[in-house]
């Protein structure tokens, strides 16, 4: 299916998959090579993403990796203001996504800086110290209601990420979240299966092997695989050596219906999209 996202009044066509480039303004992001914290570095990273063909700039100011300790809301707000100001200075018309689970910061990013998308992976502290995934998920959904209400008022596309371990559970989780969002009037919704969140190494690859099942939701699918531990642990290597594995998994994800790739390495992802698009667009030969 072909999808579009209404980004500040302009339709972002997803008939060809889009690349979302990551801007991390945290000192503790899991991939050190992605961290930028000065105005100059943020501006340069923004220009790099756009020069390399990225379609969306995704800004994160609070690490949400498993086991991380989130910073306070005021500190996250200060980091976001620094980053969004720098981005808007060099790319006033860019489609900007903000990676936050805090409703008031989503509002600030949209109303003050024209952010077009909210990318919400949920509050990481919800999952720290929980005795069961079921309790954690229940607590997280209760907390996300405020974000659901906020994005529905802001009328911006919303990315919902699931921490469930299997495709069947992800489908149920996302269907419940989508029902809640639709009841509030939310229009544009993107689903993220949450690679690396709430899943074992084996779970991650099983979800990838069945990724096409998520198309049952009739929503765009975002995959965020870039240099994650599921790659370098499998290959017994390091994050710095995980680019080849990232390209391989992004290729599989595109073949299985992904609409957005969230990546650190933008040029390589853009080229992957072009190669896969050329492959799947070829008509059958000799009557086959």
Summarised one tens digit per residue, pLDDT across range 135-176 is 545 545 556 889 999 999 999 999 999 999 999 999 999 999
Q: What are phi and psi of 121, to 5 degrees?
A: -95, 0
Average confidence score pLDDT of the chain: 88
Cα angle 224, 248, 57; round to 5: 35
Count, residues in the chain = 288
pLDDT of residue 32: 46
Whether residue 88 lies in the annotated active site? no
Report the helix count and the strand count for the chain, using DSSP H and E: 9, 10
For 192-214, what is the mean pLDDT? Answer: 96
**pTM for the predicted model, two decimal places:** 0.88
DSSP state of 283: P
Place 248 in a pLDDT band, splitting at 50, 70 and 90: very high
For 98, other C-beta atoms within 10 Å of its C-beta total 26
Look at the alpha carbons of 124, 126, 132, 133 in this order and tell me if their dihedral is positive or negative.
negative
For 152, other C-beta atoms within 10 Å of its C-beta total 18
Euclidean distance between CA atoms 81 and 61, whole angstroms = 10
pLDDT of residue 282: 66
CB 94 within 8 A of CB 46: yes
Whether residue 238 lies in the annotated active site? no
pLDDT of residue 129: 43
Catalytic residue among 89, 199, 228, 233: 228
Catalytic residue among 79, 163, 164, 262: 262
């Amino acid at each position: 299916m072909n999808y579009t996202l209404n980004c500040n009044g302009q339709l972002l066509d997803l008939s060809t998959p889009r690349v979302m480039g990551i801007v991390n303004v945290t000192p503790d992001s899991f991939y050190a090579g992605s961290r930028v914290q000065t105005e100059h570095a943020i501006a340069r990273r923004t220009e790099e993403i756009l020069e390399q063909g990225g379609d969306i700039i995704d800004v994160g100011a609070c690490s949400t990796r498993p086991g991380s300790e989130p910073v306070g809301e005021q500190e996250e707000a200060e980091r976001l203001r620094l980053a969004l100001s720098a981005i808007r200075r060099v790319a006033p018309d860019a489609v900007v996504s903000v990676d936050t689970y805090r409703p008031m910061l989503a509002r600030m990013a949209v109303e003050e800086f024209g952010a077009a998308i909210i990318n919400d992976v949920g509050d990481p502290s919800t999952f720290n110290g929980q005795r069961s995934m079921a309790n954690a998920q229940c607590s997280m959904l209760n907390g996300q209601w405020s974000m659901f209400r906020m994005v529905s008022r802001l009328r911006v596309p919303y990315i919902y990420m699931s921490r469930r371990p299997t495709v069947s559970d992800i489908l149920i989780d996302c269907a419940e979240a989508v029902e809640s969002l639709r009841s509030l009037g939310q229009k544009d919704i993107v689903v993220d299966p949450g690679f690396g969140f709430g899943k074992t190494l084996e779970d991650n690859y099983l979800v990838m092997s069945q990724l096409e099942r998520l198309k049952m939701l009739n929503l765009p699918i975002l995959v965020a695989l870039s240099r994650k531990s599921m790659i370098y642990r499998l290959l017994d290597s390091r994050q710095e050596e995980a680019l080849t594995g990232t390209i391989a998994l992004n290729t599989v994800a595109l073949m299985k219906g992904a609409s957005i790739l969230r990546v650190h390495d933008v040029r390589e992802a853009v080229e992957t999209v072009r190669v896969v698009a050329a492959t799947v667009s070829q008509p059958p030969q000799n009557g086959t």
